[in-house]
């Protein structure tokens, strides 16, 4: 259960990082 929660947190962090990255790229353009 702990590892499952940890995995979910890791996925959400990765998704947020990916979103921030694409947002910055769009802002540059």
Express each pLDDT in 1-29 by its tens digit.
678 888 888 898 999 999 888 888 888 77
**Interior angle at CA 18, CA 12 and CA 24, nearest 5:** 135
In whole angstroms, what separates CA 8 from the centre of its chain?
A: 11
| Token pair 């979103």: residue | 19
pTM over 0.75: no
């Amino acid at each position: 259960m702990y590892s499952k929660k940890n995995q979910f947190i890791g996925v959400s962090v990765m998704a947020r990082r990916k979103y921030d990255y694409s947002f910055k790229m769009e802002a540059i353009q």
